[in-house]
Structure 1
Amino acid sequence: MNVRHLLVLLALQTVPSHGFAAEWQVDPSKSAIRFSGVQVGVPFTGGFQRFEAAVDFDPAKPETGHATVLIDLSSAKTGDVQRDEALPQKDWFDVKAEAKARFEATRFVDKGDGRYDAVGTLTIRGKSKPVTLPFRFTLDGGKAHAVGHLDLVRTEFGVGKGPWASGQWVALEVGVDVDLVASAEPGT
């Protein structure tokens, strides 16, 4: 048994058994969902200012967990005025037709050493695709921290229409970074 496994076991023993597999209360002020891409050869990053997450996860029984994350697509910000004004429009997120993206994890898979996969479905612009979000999970007392990264092809979800569909101006590949901080009890 390595030191990390021992630390996880010790942490598990300090958490009351009734609250560990309970729904985690995600703290949006300490959490983030970010994205990255490349436009005309120049990398850019951005994030969603508003999202909500319902997470039921027990690292001792990950296969029984589930999660739903709703992302307000109109809250996407990159720091570039022209790009930020274009993202909610019909060619990109089309928030008038579908205001939110949805990730629903139907199960979690233990990959060892604090690494897990969230297996589920991502829906953007009414297009759903199966995805697996690998993440690291740490626990400090009753506080949980999950950090993961997922690579997507934006056109598989209908993001980038017309002249933006080819990848000539904006790369088709998009990275999504998830950084969630949560507590086992409301208000902690």
Structure 2
Amino acid sequence: MNKFVKLSAVLALATAVSAPAFAAPETYVIDGSHTFPRFSYSHFGLSKQLSRFDKTSGTIVLDKEAKTGSVDIVIDTTSVDTGFPVFNGHIQGADFLDTTAFPTATFKSTKVVFKGDAPTEVQGDLTIKGVTKPVTLTVTSFVAMPHPMLQKDAIGANATTVIKRTDFNAGKYAPNVGDDVTIDIAVEAIKQ
């Protein structure tokens, strides 16, 4: 009987060692001090204007083994920063973002596409001024590593997409002021 118990223990240990380890999904919280959605557009064909939002929150969930994930981001549209206070107020007005009625914009992913170990595309729903449209963010860079200062796991990425202002009821002066708006987001998030 003692040999049977030892053999059973050895087999159980061998099975445990040879079984694949399944990683659980990991949740990362957006670092608002290093996450900035930026947007650019043509201003009467004279220049490409670049502005950003200063307050962003949300979470990113990644399952590296299953190659799945989700992204849930909230942008405080009252934090728009054009570099010019008068224009900040203009962008927040009813003709554009209407931040009195819609103080946030959101992005909720429906699918994260991986190539190898890194996400390359995030498909989801963007809501601006209460209008929701599907968009695809192209991930141009992605890094997962321990944060050198916080000593916690962290991720960072850059992603981009192009939307039309008129699709979101924010099309005043289009097409003279460009209808196409390029959105670039630099994001960092810390593992919870």
TM-score (norm 1): 0.79
Deviation of residue 106 (structure 1)?
2.1
Deviation of residue 70 (structure 1)?
0.8
The whole-number CA distance in structure 1 between the counterparts of 2:119 and 2:62 is 13
Contact 1:118 1:132 in 2 (8 A): yes
The whole-number CA distance in structure 2 between the counterparts of 1:171 and 1:147 is 23
Secondary structure of 1:69's aligned partner: strand
- Whether 2:185 is the aligned partner of 1:174: answer no
Secondary structure of 1:92's aligned partner: coil
- The alpha-carbon distance between structure 1 residues 42 and 79, as it changes in their structure 2 partners (threshold 3 A), is same
- Whether 2:190 is the aligned partner of 1:183: answer yes
The whole-number CA distance in structure 1 between the counterparts of 2:158 and 2:80 is 19
Secondary structure of 1:94's aligned partner: coil
Q: Any gaps of 5 or more consecutive residues in structure 1? A: 1-15
Contact 1:111 1:117 in 2 (8 A): no
The whole-number CA distance in structure 2 between the counterparts of 1:79 and 1:62 is 39
Contact 2:35 2:56 in 1 (8 A): no
- Whether 2:58 is the aligned partner of 1:53: answer yes
| Paired position in structure 2 for 1:27 | 31
- RMSD, aligned CA: 2.0
Secondary structure of 2:63's aligned partner: coil
Secondary structure of 1:56's aligned partner: strand
- The alpha-carbon distance between structure 1 residues 171 and 36, as it changes in their structure 2 partners (threshold 3 A), is same
Contact 1:147 1:179 in 2 (8 A): yes
| Paired position in structure 2 for 1:11 | none
2:88 to 84, 87, 90: 84
1:1-188 matches, cutoff 5 A: 21-40=25-44, 41-63=46-68, 65-112=69-116, 114-135=118-139, 136-141=141-146, 142-161=153-172, 164=173, 166-168=174-176, 170-185=177-192
Amino acid at match of 1:154: R
- The alpha-carbon distance between structure 1 residues 146 and 17, as it changes in their structure 2 partners (threshold 3 A), is farther
Whose Rg is larger? 2
Identity %: 27
**Bigger mean CA offset, 136-145 vs 47-56:** 136-145
TM-score (norm 2): 0.78
Runs of 4+, deviation exceeding 3 Å: 111-115
Amino acid at match of 1:72: D
**Bigger mean CA offset, 134-143 vs 102-111:** 134-143
The whole-number CA distance in structure 2 between the counterparts of 1:112 and 1:88 is 41
| Paired position in structure 2 for 1:10 | none
| Paired position in structure 2 for 1:4 | none
